[in-house]
């Protein structure tokens, strides 16, 4: 079964320096029908104005994945990590028993556009952790490239949940099929462009919640960038 979630139906907040679409309930946006999908509880599509960002703040017991679409995102945290992530980079921060961090647009001219993703961990109270890896466009072209997993396989970042996250780029005749194990659920988020998921058209910001299927097919892309979550 496929349930569509149109990007225009998401929550939206305009803070001036930050413009953010919320796929699930977040901050001042509350929708009982969209509190999460399994352990996936946040996908925020954020655009941060030049030279601005999120000041130091805390998290605990959350797997936080950042996926940059355009620009550059500067990160610092209480574990001593400091870096700038750019398109192709995937950053994972395990908040564990508690961590402080800040995120800023590293660009002085243009905005930074990225997805902030929160996944509830399977275990709580662990030591905080940090990891980032780069995935070239060629590795995602016409296929679903594993970028996050519970065991860090195939060079993905490791998250503390029985979940897998794939990224793919699709255009024209490019297509990919993902096999789905029994009892698993799939969430497809279109980051940009448009694509078909099992014959249904999704545009940028749209999503599909998929249950009770043994596979999904992604094809007919138009300059599409897609994230696919395989969830318990």
Q: Locate the domains of the chain by residue range.
A: 2-231
Give the residues across from 57 on adjacent strands: 101
What's residue 132's pLDDT?
97
CA distance 46 to 29: 15
- Answer yes or no: is pLDDT of 89 > 90: yes
Counting residues of the chain whose pLDDT is more than 90, the rounded percentage is 99
Which residues neighbour 33 within 8 Å (Cβ) at sequence distance 6 or greater? none
CATH class of domain segment(s) 2-231: mainly beta
Name the CA radius of gyration of the chain, rounded. Answer: 17
Q: Round to whole Å and give the CA distance between 37 and 189.
A: 12
Per-residue pLDDT for 98 more than 90? yes
Alpha helices in the chain (DSSP H): 137-140
- Return the pLDDT at 108: 87
This prediction has a pTM of 0.97
- In this predicted structure, the answer to whether residue 97 has a pLDDT above a threshold of 90 is yes
Tokens representing 107 are 């660009």
């Amino acid at each position: 079964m496929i349930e569509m979630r149109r990007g225009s139906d998401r929550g939206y907040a305009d803070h001036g320096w930050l413009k953010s679409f919320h796929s699930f309930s977040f901050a001042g946006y509350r929708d009982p029908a969209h509190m999460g999908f399994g352990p996936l509880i946040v996908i925020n599509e954020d655009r941060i104005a030049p030279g601005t960002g999120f000041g130091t703040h805390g998290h605990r017991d959350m797997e936080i994945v950042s996926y940059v679409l355009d620009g550059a995102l500067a990160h610092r945290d209480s574990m001593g990590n400091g870096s700038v992530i750019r398109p192709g980079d995937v950053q994972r921060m395990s908040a564990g028993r508690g961590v402080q961090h800040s995120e800023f647009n590293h660009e002085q001219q243009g905005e930074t556009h990225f997805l902030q993703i929160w996944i509830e961990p399977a275990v709580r109270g662990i030591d905080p952790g940090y990891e980032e890896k780069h995935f070239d466009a060629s590795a995602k072209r016409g296929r679903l490239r594993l970028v996050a997993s519970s065991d860090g396989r195939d060079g993905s970042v490791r998250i503390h949940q029985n979940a897998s996250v794939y990224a793919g780029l699709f255009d024209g005749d490019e297509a990919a099929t993902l096999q789905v194990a029994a009892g698993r659920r799939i969430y497809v988020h279109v980051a940009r462009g448009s694509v078909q998921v099992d014959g249904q058209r999704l545009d940028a910001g749209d999503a599909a919640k998929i249950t009770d299927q043994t596979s999904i097919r992604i094809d007919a892309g138009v300059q599409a960038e897609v994230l696919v979550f395989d969830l318990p």
